[in-house]
Amino acid sequence: MLTRSPATIVTLAVLMLIPSLYGIINTRVNYDILSYLPDYLDSSKGQVILEDTFHNAATAMLVIEGMPEKDVEKLRDDIAEIPNVKDALWISQLLDISIPKEILPDDIKNIFYSKNVEDSTMIMVQFEHPGASTETLAAIDEVRALCDERCFLAGVSIFLKDTKDLVEQEMPLYTVLAVIFSIIAMSFTMESVVLPFVFILGIGFAVAYNFGTNMFLGQVSYITKAIAAILQLGVSMDYSIFLVDRYDEEKPKFADKRDAMASAIESAFVSLSGSSMTTIAGFLALCAMRLGLGPDLGIVMAKGIVIGILVVLVVLPSLVLQFDGLIHRWKHRSLIPNFTRLNDWIIDHKKTFTTIFLVLFIPAFIMQSKTEIYFNIDRSLPADLPSTVATDKMRDEFDMATTHFIIVDDNLPAYQLSNMEKEIEKVDGVETLLGYNKFVGPGIPDSFIPDDIKDICKKDGKQMLMVNSKYKAARDEENAQIDTITEIVKRYDPNGLITGEGAMTKDLSELTTVDIQVTNLLSIAAILLIVGICFKSLTIPVVLVAAIELAIFINQGIPALTGTVIPFISPIVIGCIQLGATVDYAILMTTRFREELQNGHERVEAIKIASNASDKSIITSALVFFCANVGVSMISKIEIIKSICTMLARGAIISALVAIFILPSVLLACEKLFSKTSRNWKKPAPKESANQKG
């Protein structure tokens, strides 16, 4: 039925782009990775109180150099009037600016004036909404519009704003490069000139549908938005190639090409469903992460694979039938060489390659464990961005690298609060502490204090203190400082909370360290189960997963050899996605090896036939996956995205090399073991399809 009216199917597919476009437009993009921390953490609870109680969900620091104080005061007043800015805090709210700063108390002077640079002052800008919200990002634009070259705006919210601008600038290039490079790769490996463009068109429908349905999730992270289309292109291309190859096999058997396509769809359905299960399992393993970024990427990509399969089985056949004449008219010779001699040489040296497999495992595992990971989010942006320059100014001129927010009960006795503040000020790395007592002094009654000053630090039974640290987030000394401050706060108020970039980044590192292990183990377990069921074997899944894990260890260990420090998200994504997406290379070769054994071939001959038959498909798949990612890794200035795409591109090639050079020898060495631990290894199952991919 699907093949009888290809024009109608294509028309419906085009019409479905309209609601997809609506969904894409109405899906919010979240640029704040720290917002994905679980709600049960103290740092997350503190952020909620900052937002809901103090309406101070985000704070920026405006460093100003060489500006007359009257102009600074005017700038502060103008900033305070901007919509969604809660307040702009400067010395003029506390004291008359005619008072010489030299006679100010050090506690006040060191907050607003630089100790290191003359004529440098700082305004604290408090926003009413979270740092990544549309309202705050718009307010940042307005603040910047009021500033000149003497002003430098720093803070987490400013970093998020620059991230958003950079992602929106680079995003179209990601897709364009992925498409161009993938077409080039397919042009090398396919005989048809037109077919690569048909494949790209079909996958384009799948990507649009996937992004459109993200609206039901409410929002996606910018990392998911940046790499989801590229991953979907790289992974789903295999399914398109498989269907068309099957169509070409069926075509001579039928007088009507539509019947041939119907037969191809029927035959491909079971194989594609089984093949996609390993990839889906790899993505769904990300959902086990406690950091919400994992489920965000995992759900979007697993959904993308399901949609990709549906498009390949429903829309792509109609596209192929519509362009069938052009597809088969414009052809050239495939540029992939014949690998018969290479495969003969590999099998002739099977003991050597089996030994390499065994010997490489331990050093590769050790090497990947030595790869260093960073957790501070601002490190992922270029050094010349305004937010990065401003952060350096803040650190150099005010000895401020991060700001902690402490929230305690307002009923805490004044003497206890004062003692707590004194203890915190003595902690290593603490530069300044800004609290209610610093503004007004402990002896002044609340009734004498204006509400606008009082509301900065006291509201709804809570009191907030700001602690400026000279340590950068994610450093060992910063984490030790946070532990010490937390111990002090909890001693005075067991329900006290500490939040801010430093505390949240510390929680991020502790969560992610465990998440890496959990997701890797889950993806391995899920794929072992799926492959075991497909082959009805206890040992085949262990060997195939071990082969791809070797490729993953090598991939993740290369940064240790090159001295590269990678972002925390890279090993999580690579561990799950490289395994799920490239284990198909091993499944493909093993399936063909089993088929040739069942056809009566001797072991060595069977593996040679399997290798010769599988190599082209493996190389095509790996090249497309490589090309879809390598363009992004070449041009992206965002280190998180660049690192993920670099490792995915490299991982596809390493997995392909392991499958082509090492796996045949390992399969041959383990064949007798497979025969004893697998059902129907050499004897076909009663209704088993000879074309099953796995």
DSSP 641-666: HHHHHHHHHHHHHHHHHIIIIIHHHH
CA neighbor of 164 nearest in space, from 219, 210, 217, 223: 223
Both 12 and 97 in a single domain? no
β-strand 120-127 against 85-89: which pairing, if any?
Answer: antiparallel
Both 22 and 109 in a single domain? no
Report residue 656's pLDDT band, with 50, 70 and 90 as the boundaries: very high
CB–CB of 218/26 below 8 Å? Answer: no
Ramachandran region, residue 472 (left: φ > 0; alpha: ψ -120 to 50; beta: rest): beta
- 3, two tokens: 């093949």
Taking the CA atoms of residue 254, residue 255, residue 257 and residue 263 in that order, the dihedral angle to the nearest 10 degrees is -20
CB–CB of 92/163 below 8 Å? Answer: no
Question: Considering the domain boundaries, does residue 669 fall inside one?
Answer: no
pLDDT top residue among 334 and 652: 652
Neighbours of 636 (CB within 10 A): 24
Both 195 and 309 in a single domain? yes
Both 154 and 194 in a single domain? no
What's the helix, strand, coil split of the chain in %, to 5?
A: 70, 10, 20
Average pLDDT taken over every residue of the chain: 90
Q: What is the pLDDT at residue 446? A: 63
CB–CB of 9/2 below 8 Å? Answer: yes
**CATH number (domain holding residue 80):** 3.30.70
Question: Considering the domain boundaries, does residue 145 fall inside one?
Answer: yes
Both 322 and 201 in a single domain? yes
For residue 441, pLDDT beyond 70: no
Both 72 and 118 in a single domain? yes
Tokens 């894990």, residue located: 549
Report residue 440's pLDDT band, with 50, 70 and 90 as the boundaries: low
Range of the domain at 144: 33-161
Question: Considering the domain boundaries, does residue 99 fall inside one?
Answer: yes
For residue 156, pLDDT beyond 70: yes
pLDDT tens, position by position, 38-80: 999 999 999 999 888 887 778 899 999 999 999 999 999 999 9
Question: Considering the domain boundaries, does residue 347 fall inside one?
Answer: no
CB–CB of 129/135 below 8 Å? Answer: yes
For 418, phi then psi, to 5°, come to: -65, -45
For 158, phi then psi, to 5°, come to: -70, -40
CA neighbor of 378 nearest in space, from 611, 154, 99: 154
Neighbours of 446 (CB within 10 A): 11
CA neighbor of 643 nearest in space, from 350, 282, 381: 381
pLDDT tens, position by position, 515-535: 999 999 999 999 999 999 989
Q: Tell me how far CA of residue 340 lies from CA of 95, 227, 688, in angstroms.
A: 85, 36, 28
Map residue 403 onto helix, strand or coil: strand
CA neighbor of 366 nearest in space, from 557, 555, 575, 651: 557
Longest dimension (CA), the chain: 98
Last residue of a domain, one of 310, 332, 354: 332
Neighbours of 298 (CB within 10 A): 24
Question: Considering the domain boundaries, does residue 496 fall inside one?
Answer: no
How many degrees, rounded to 5, is the angle at CA 411 between CA 409 and CA 415? 105
Count of domains forming the chain: 2
pLDDT tens, position by position, 385-436: 999 999 999 989 998 889 999 999 999 998 899 999 999 999 999 998 988 8
Both 198 and 326 in a single domain? yes
For residue 645, pLDDT beyond 90: yes
Question: Considering the domain boundaries, does residue 461 fall inside one?
Answer: no
Q: Cβ neighbours of residue 544 under 8 Å, at least 6 residues apart?
A: 531, 583, 586, 587, 590, 663
- 286, two tokens: 């990300």
CB–CB of 196/190 below 8 Å? Answer: yes
Both 249 and 155 in a single domain? no
Count of residues making up the chain: 694
Q: Helix 540-562 to helix 663-677 angle, to the nearest 10 degrees? A: 150
When computed from its CA atoms, the radius of gyration of the chain, rounded to whole angstroms, is 30
Both 13 and 99 in a single domain? no
Last residue of a domain, one of 283, 312, 332: 332
Last residue of a domain, one of 161, 181, 207: 161
Both 328 and 197 in a single domain? yes
Both 39 and 24 in a single domain? no
- 632, two tokens: 């992004």
Both 136 and 92 in a single domain? yes
- 629, two tokens: 């990612």
For residue 116, pLDDT beyond 50: yes
